[in-house]
Amino acid sequence: MPRILILFAHPVLEKSRMQQVLLAAATGMPEVTVHDLYELYPQFDIDIDREQDLLTRHDIIIWQHPFYWYSCPALLKQWMDLVLEHGWAYGHSGTALEGKKVFNVITSGASTEAYQAGGFNKYSIRQYLLPFERTAELCRTTYWPPFWVPGVHRMQQGEIEEYGIRYFALLTALRKGSLREEEILRAPQLNDFVSFNQTTPL
Amino acid sequence: MDPSSFLFQAFVYLCAMVVFVPLARRLGLGSVLGYLLAGIVIGPYVLGVVGEEGQDLMHFAEFGVVMMLFLIGLELEPGVLWGMRRAIIGLGTGQVLVSAAVIGALALVAGFNWQQALAAGLILSLSSTAIVMQSLQEKGWLKSEAGQSAFAVLLFQDIAVIPMLALFPLLATTPRPGAAGGEEHLSWIAGLPPLWQTVIVLASIVGIIAAGRLVITPAMRLVARTGMREVFTAFALFIVVGIAVLMTGVGLSPALGAFLAGVVLANSEYRHELESDIEPFKGILLGLFFIAVGASVNFPLIAEQPGTVVTWVVVLIAVKSVVLLGLGRVFRLGTDQNLIFSSALAQVGEFAFVLASLALQEGVLPPATVQLLIAVVAITMALTPLVMLFNERFLLPRVGTREAPPTRVVDAISARNPVIIAGFGHFGNTVGRFLRANNVPATYLDIDSDTVDVLRKMGFKVFYGDASRYDLLEAAGAREARIIVIAIDSKEKRLEMIETVKKHFPHLNILVRAANRYDAYDQMNAGMLHVYRETVDTAIRMGVDTLKLLGVRAYTAHRKALTFLRHDERNLKQLAAIRNDEEYITEARKFIEEIELILQADRHDPTRDRDEGWDADGLRKEAREESL
């Protein structure tokens, strides 16, 4: 059974309804480690050995964060800069992460329609996620499409909670291995594998 | 009052010092000239307050030279001394041999026999350590190339005196005038065979080095532990006097022995304390010595044979300067440095008095010549400040290549650290450990001898002493350092230190520990920009952990702490500016009113809750408006 590591980065979680719900959904699941970066390293003093050790002990790595300015919050970037060392995560002898799966779980203010050619943001979310994708590929991991919660600013409480349920369902399915990788890689986003009204995956 | 009473004598000398030295300095003539003038004025031929006892005083005050060499030795670590060997041997030998040869040749021409000419040449080749070092130090040239070269020559002369003392009895041409009485003036080992003499001399040198390493430092530790300053001072004097006694006993120059002991102790943690204890004694004794030299200028003799005296003085200064100039050129001194070097060393020194009286005793020179010699020597010494002044005012400006004291030489004096940490208690040692962990070399000062002892064993560069003293700071390298961290416990001492540092070392960046807000106010009002309250960071960290235990996110708590600290520091600055002690009646009242002000300022603080970049409220509102 694959073990899942959620690298969570949010500087003001107390102000984000959506992220609180997502985090609550993931917390307490067996074989799922929720790793709250801002809570652990409020002064940005990342413990690199500990982080690398955590990575090696998990199979699926999730970067969960709000999509600030088309990217992640500062601490997650710092985490990438420091933890994904040359010779460990990439480079000729950097094979520590080989074969692991990586994807982003993000929340954005703008809607799905905004992220397309001709839309407000002009490009798709996958295009904006290219830095993450290349990072994952350089580290010899497989980059999966994101679990993406768009339009969070207009969301009603009910909708928010439904996303929490979907996230829980996704994590359950990944743990059980009930999703086939070819299908995952073909999908534009991981949202598609779980519907609003289902608590179990398709 | 009995004019010969001790107190009256002391009164006269001190009075002359206090009147003439500041006067001479005010006129830009330097303190040495002031002392000499004072001596001339109170001497037997002007006011006549001081009579024949001036000579005895000179012998006594010569001890100031011994102390001075001890202090110079303390400044020179053995490695640095070794680095100067070329200058000492090259310049030194050159100066003594060439000067002695030229002067001796002139004396032959003047009708001396060869033994007398040799004796006169050797006597007159020496220069005055006291006058040269004091003058160079006063002008700040001690660490320039000229100063270092002059020092090397003087050091060699000190060594050269030893064989001269041994040589003079062999030059006797006339029967000794006081055959029996003169004997005891030499050392007690003089009667022993030469081999034994050599062995004893070498043994005493080794003894001094060994004692410095093995006995003196542990003994100083014990003395320092008593915490009684005067005992430490007494011990410091004891060391110097003891060495002088030993050295005189074996027929060596006490100044040389003291210098050697100084070098041995240069690495000791008590170096600065020794320096600051001996320094005032040295100053006073040297002053007395100069006064005595002034008082010993024999004006009647000059009046009797003005032509001879003036010729001797002029020829001597001319010959010595020309020889020195030549040597300076050979040793590649810049023109300006060479001028300083040669004008400084052009006089004849205090050793001449010793050697001349020895020459008289041993029957080398006739009494009349010795009298004349002593008068001439005193005059050349008295003229030195004037010669240097002439050089400084008229020659140097024409040369135009005056260089600032080169840093290379300064570095050689001792490895100076960029940071000085005063106080190595709980506070200072944390700063020190942190800097050390980051490879920042620092010099530490502490008043607790046990702490100093332990830390030195751990390889820290720690010195014992009261860090608020100017001389200790100077000795610790405050002039070359960039930053001083004041971490001592006593808040009064801290303020004292701030004043001292601001006054004498304005280039230093001062970082100061403060016990609390009041302390911080005082320090800020004293112009401090970097004030660190002992409790504030810790208290805020405790507050952060309290918030976290209550469920506040760690990063939020951390940011709140930063904001709060910034606000509190700004607040501190404002309150420091408006604080008025007279309004407060009691400490308690003061504290309460203060808290009130602080709390009010906390409430109005505009920096609270300003994470707008992350604040989604505005975005949400806009999004809702759009969707309507």
Q: B154-177, pLDDT tens digit by residue?
A: 888 877 877 787 788 778 776 555
Q: Which of B554, B614, B623 sits opposite A154 (nearest CB)?
A: B623
Contact (CB<8Å) A39/B556: no
Whether residue B396 is predicted with pLDDT greater than 50 in this model: the reply is yes
B332, two tokens: 């590649």
User: Dihedral of CA B41/B47/B53/B55: which sign?
Assistant: positive
Whether residue A80 is predicted with pLDDT greater than 90 in this model: the reply is yes
Q: Reduced to 3 states, what is the DSSP secondary structure of residue B39?
A: helix
CA torsion, points B484, B487, B493, B494, in degrees to nearest 10?
60
B419 and B485 in contact (C-beta within 8 Å)? Answer: yes
Q: How many residue pairs from chains A and B have C-beta atoms closer than 8 A?
A: 47
> Which residues, at least 6 apart from B58, have a Cβ–Cβ distance to it below 8 Å?
B289, B292, B293, B296, B350, B353
Phi and psi at B48, nearest 5°, equal 75, 20
Contacting residues of A for B615, CB less than 8 Å apart = 12, 15
Q: Reduced to 3 states, what is the DSSP secondary structure of residue B383?
A: helix
DSSP string for residues in B158-208 = HHHHHHHHHHGGGG--S--TTHHHHGGGS-GGGGS-HHHHHHHHHHHHHHH
Give chain B's radius of gyration (CA, Å).
Answer: 32
Strands B509-514 and A101-107, bridge-based pairing: unpaired
Angstrom distance (rounded) from CA B285 to CA B273? 19
Who has greater pLDDT, B409 or B601? Answer: B601
Q: Which of A16, A42, A109 sits opposite B555 (nearest CB)?
A: A42
Contact (CB<8Å) A11/B623: no
Q: Which of A16, A42, A151 sits opposite B554 (nearest CB)?
A: A42
Most confident of A37-46, B68-77, B577-586: A37-46
Whether residue B58 is predicted with pLDDT greater than 50 in this model: the reply is yes
Task: Report the half-sphere exposure of B68 (CA within 13 A, side-chain side).
Answer: 24
Contact (CB<8Å) A39/B611: no
User: What is the tens place of the pLDDT at every residue in B221-267?
Assistant: 888 877 777 888 888 888 888 888 888 887 777 878 888 888 888 87
Residue of chain B whose Cα is closest to the Cα of A17: B616
pLDDT band of residue A200 (cuts 50, 70, 90) is very low
Closest Cα to residue B138, out of B68, B243, B223? Answer: B68
Who has greater pLDDT, B14 or B72? Answer: B14
Residue B309 CA: distances (Å) to CA of A92, B121, B306, B440: 90, 16, 5, 60
B136, two tokens: 């160079």
Phi and psi at A188, nearest 5°, equal -70, -30
Whether residue A108 is predicted with pLDDT greater than 90 in this model: the reply is yes
B333, two tokens: 């001194």
Whether residue B408 is predicted with pLDDT greater than 60 in this model: the reply is no
pLDDT band of residue B602 (cuts 50, 70, 90) is low
B291, two tokens: 């006064």
Angstrom distance (rounded) from CA B87 to CA B93? 9
Whether residue B605 is predicted with pLDDT greater than 60 in this model: the reply is no
What confidence score (pLDDT) does residue B474 get? 82
What confidence score (pLDDT) does residue A27 get? 95
Whether residue B377 is predicted with pLDDT greater than 90 in this model: the reply is no
Contact (CB<8Å) B620/A16: no
Contact (CB<8Å) A12/B619: no
User: Dihedral of CA A23/A28/A34/A40: which sign?
Assistant: positive
Contacting residues of B for A39, CB less than 8 Å apart = 553-555
State chain A's mean pLDDT as an integer.
92
Strands A32-36 and A60-66, bridge-based pairing: unpaired
Lowest mean pLDDT, pick from A176-190, B49-63, B262-276, B328-342: B49-63
Angstrom distance (rounded) from CA B331 to CA B333? 6
What confidence score (pLDDT) does residue B404 get? 42
Lowest mean pLDDT, pick from B22-26, B59-63, B91-95, B172-176: B172-176
User: What is the tens place of the pLDDT at every residue in B425-464?
Assistant: 889 888 988 988 888 888 888 887 777 777 777 777 777 7
Strands B530-533 and B483-486, bridge-based pairing: unpaired
Q: A67-79 in b/e burial notation, b at 16+ Cβ within 10 A?
A: bbeeebbebbebb
What confidence score (pLDDT) does residue B589 get? 61
Q: Reduced to 3 states, what is the DSSP secondary structure of residue B532?
A: strand
Whether residue A62 is predicted with pLDDT greater than 60 in this model: the reply is yes
Q: Is A40 on the interface with B (CB under 8 A)?
A: yes
Contacting residues of B for A152, CB less than 8 Å apart = 616
Angstrom distance (rounded) from CA B122 to CA B116? 10
Q: Reduced to 3 states, what is the DSSP secondary structure of residue A35?
A: strand
A6 and A33 in contact (C-beta within 8 Å)? Answer: yes
What confidence score (pLDDT) does residue B62 get? 76
Contact (CB<8Å) A12/B623: no
Query: Position of tokens 């840093």?
Result: B407
Q: Reduced to 3 states, what is the DSSP secondary structure of residue B526?
A: coil
Kindly report the CA angle at B112 between B108 and B115, in degrees rounded to 5? Answer: 90
Most confident of A56-70, B181-195, B301-315: A56-70
What confidence score (pLDDT) does residue B233 get? 86
A103, two tokens: 């994807």
Most confident of A197-201, B142-146, B316-320: B316-320
The mean per-residue pLDDT over the stretch B492-511 comes to: 90
What confidence score (pLDDT) does residue B247 get? 82
Closest Cα to residue B385, out of B36, B9, B16? Answer: B36
Contact (CB<8Å) A42/B627: no
B510 and B494 in contact (C-beta within 8 Å)? Answer: no
Q: Is A113 on the interface with B (CB under 8 A)?
A: no
State chain B's mean pLDDT as an integer.
80
Most confident of A29-38, B185-194, B348-357, B604-613: A29-38
> Which residues, at least 6 apart from A164, have a Cβ–Cβ distance to it below 8 Å?
A21, A22, A24, A25
B294 and B39 in contact (C-beta within 8 Å)? Answer: yes
Residue of chain B whose Cα is closest to the Cα of A68: B614
Ramachandran bin of A53, using left for φ above 0, alpha for ψ from -120 to 50, beta for the remaining angles: alpha
Q: A46-56 in b/e burial notation, b at 16+ Cβ within 10 A?
A: beeeebbebbe
Residue of chain B whose Cα is closest to the Cα of A18: B616
Q: Crossing angle, helix B367-390 and helix B351-361, to 10 degrees?
A: 170
Identify the contact set of chain B against chain A, taking CB-CB distances under 8 A.
553-559, 611, 614-616, 619-620, 622-624, 627
What confidence score (pLDDT) does residue B270 get? 80
Q: Which of B556, B620, B622 sits opposite A12 (nearest CB)?
A: B556
Whether residue A88 is predicted with pLDDT greater than 50 in this model: the reply is yes
What confidence score (pLDDT) does residue A48 get? 94
B440, two tokens: 């920042």
Q: In what order do the strands lie in the sheet with B419-422?
A: B461-464, B442-446, B419-422, B483-486, B509-514, B530-533
User: What is the tens place of the pLDDT at every residue in A10-56?
Assistant: 999 988 999 999 999 999 999 999 999 999 999 999 999 999 999 99
Angstrom distance (rounded) from CA B113 to CA A42? 92
pLDDT band of residue B53 (cuts 50, 70, 90) is low
Q: Which of B614, B622, B624 sits opposite A11 (nearest CB)?
A: B614
Angstrom distance (rounded) from CA B329 to CA B334? 8
What confidence score (pLDDT) does residue B55 get? 67
What confidence score (pLDDT) does residue B206 get? 86
In angstroms, the first-to-last Cα distance of chain B is: 112
% of chain A residues with pLDDT over 70: 96
Phi and psi at B531, nearest 5°, equal -115, 130
DSSP A13: G
Lowest mean pLDDT, pick from A19-28, A54-63, A103-112, B206-215: B206-215
Q: Is A14 on the interface with B (CB under 8 A)?
A: yes
User: Dihedral of CA B10/B14/B15/B16: which sign?
Assistant: positive
The mean per-residue pLDDT over the stretch B468-491 comes to: 86
The mean per-residue pLDDT over the stretch A146-158 comes to: 91
B546, two tokens: 């309290």
The mean per-residue pLDDT over the stretch B364-382 comes to: 83
What confidence score (pLDDT) does residue A36 get? 96
Closest Cα to residue B274, out of B219, B303, B236? Answer: B236
Whether residue B620 is predicted with pLDDT greater than 50 in this model: the reply is yes
